[in-house]
Amino acid sequence: MSIDTHDANIAVCFLDDLGTDLLKLTPRMDDSIVIGGQSRVYSNISHESEIIKSAENIWTQRSSTEDVLEEFDSWVEFFNTEHIDQPDPRVAKPVSIIKENCSVNLSVSEVANSVNLSVPSSV
């Protein structure tokens, strides 16, 4: 598959792995399509032109990684006008452990033990 961008730049941004960014952003999207009966693609976020200008500034200024991450966070927080429930700590802690130890192939048992959870017999 290929996409003709007509020489436009494309920015790919990854949201947080626990889904809170997506919960903040999707209410601000005007359009969405369902792909494969399960996945959904959202588009037409409010204030899109301001976000594009900010992304263009990042590109032209060759901002540091820290500055880019801070700017991305500001985009997400700009749309956070409602209270979003925080992820269950029983899920958030194992995700954090996996991320902190990404160079180590931790087993399910090791992660479960580190947060005082048991491993289901089907794993």
φ, ψ (nearest 5 deg) of residue 64: -70, 160
The residue ranges of every structural domain in the chain are 1-86, 88-123
Q: Is pLDDT at 123 greater than 60 in this prediction?
A: no
Q: Please tell me the pTM assigned to this model.
A: 0.52
Residue 114, Cα to own-chain centre: how many angstroms? 25
Residue 67: which of 80, 79, 58, 54 has the closest Cα? 58
pLDDT tens figures, 22-73: 887 888 888 888 888 877 888 888 788 888 888 888 889 988 888 888 888 8
DSSP 8-state class, residue 26: G
What are the DSSP E strand ranges found in 12-93? 29-35, 39-45
Contacts for 16 with CB less than 8 Å, ≥ 6 apart: none
Q: Which two tokens stand for residue 22?
A: 């997506």
